[in-house]
Amino acid sequence: MNTESKRFVVVGAGGIGTWLCAGLVRLLEWKYPGSALIIADGDTYEEKNKERQDFTKLGNKAVVKASELTPHFTNTTIIPVPKWVVGEDFSGVADEESPKIKASDLIRENDVVFAVVDNFAARAILFDAARKLDNIDVFTGGNDDELFGSIYHYQKRDGLEITCHPEEFHPEYLNPPDKNPGELSCQERSEIEGGTQLLATNMAVAAFILGRVQKTIVSNQMPDETEIFFDLGLGKAEPFNRTHAHLENPILV
């Protein structure tokens, strides 16, 4: 058990986040008692989500998940943030009524952030906000409609980028092919299809992220395997080193 407290910030309590929260709260409860788990999501859980998401009642995903976990984990403060996470200047926001929070107001120094929204534009906002901090970890992960998925870990220490910003390897972070749901109108959000992602792959993404947290946060080891691709159908996983030490000297940002 560690004496220091942590702030874990999960953005997105859907197909991946719902399972990830269940693991993170257990890690905080026994490894870092007195810590906080913040769950941010502006979306609402509906019956159509039941196939691959773990909720016991309808309502805002952050609020419902926090209310489910709180009675069972008394050494951890679980805070729901029922809001969409948006950019610094709220540019492009079409729906003024839906609750929103700027990424820079949500995350702070020394946070461990989990960007598990199924949206590149929203993830990019979180990575860009994290890049302005001196000490931060951001984990992200996603999967397609089959058994393939991946995770990525961005880390800064004392102003140095230990691992690379994902835009250096993934152009979709520079020019997202989608729009952040927090910038859409209620009508536009209602027209987004739920997708056909698989429960097994969602859970695998959550498990891989938990494994990286165990290594790099709990055990404080170097995040050498910064990015991992896996295919459950083939039973294979392949890691990639995205640290600046591997490519060149760390970058002061």
103 lies in some domain? yes
3-state secondary structure of 42: coil
What sign does the dihedral 241-247-250-253 (CA atoms) show? negative
CA distances from 207 to 45, 150, 210, 230 (A): 22, 11, 5, 12
- Tens-place pLDDT, residues 197-225: 788 999 999 999 999 999 999 999 999 99
In a domain, residue 2? The reply is no
pLDDT per position as a tens digit, 168-195: 999 999 888 777 766 655 545 444 555 5
Residue 148 lies in a domain: yes
Query: Distance between CA 157 and CA 84 in Å, rounded?
Result: 28
What b/e sequence results for 13-37 when a residue is b if at least 16 CB atoms lie within 10 Å of its CB, and e otherwise?
bbbbbbbbbbbbbebbbebbeebbb
The pLDDT of 8-21, averaged and rounded, is 93
Model pLDDT, residue 53: 72
Give the 3-state secondary structure of residue 65: helix
Q: Could you give phi then psi for residue 9, rounded to 5 degrees? A: -115, 110
| Partner residues linked to 11 by β-bridges | 40, 115
Residue 166 DSSP code: G
The reply to whether 144 falls in a domain is: yes
Q: Measured between alpha carbons, how far is residue 211 from residues 31, 96, 169, 207 in Å?
A: 14, 39, 22, 6
For residues 9-15, average pLDDT: 92
Distance CA 76, CA 26 (A): 9
Per-residue pLDDT at 31: 96
- Domain interval for residue 104: 7-252
Query: In Å, what is the CA distance from 172 to each residue of 58, 80, 124, 126, 144?
Result: 33, 29, 9, 14, 15
Here the CATH number for the domain that contains residue 234 is 3.40.50.720
Is position 101 within any domain? yes
Q: Which of 45, 73, 36 lies closest to 18, judged by CA?
A: 45
C-alpha count within 13 angstroms, C-beta hemisphere, residue 32: 19
Confidence of residue 56 (pLDDT cuts 50, 70, 90): confident
Residues 6+ apart with CB under 8 A from 216: 137, 153, 155, 222, 223
Domain presence at residue 70: yes
Looking at the structure of the chain, the number of domains it has is 1
**Mean predicted confidence (pLDDT) in 41-60:** 78
For residue 96, name the pLDDT band (cuts at 50, 70, 90).
low
Q: CA-to-CA distance for 56 and 88, rounded, in angstroms?
A: 34
Residue 187's pLDDT is 44
Chain-centroid distance, C-alpha 251 = 23
Residue 88 in domain: yes
Q: How confident is the model at residue 228 (pLDDT cuts 50, 70, 90)?
A: very high
What's the pTM? 0.89
- Is residue 1 included in any domain, yes or no? no
Higher pLDDT, 178 or 155: 155
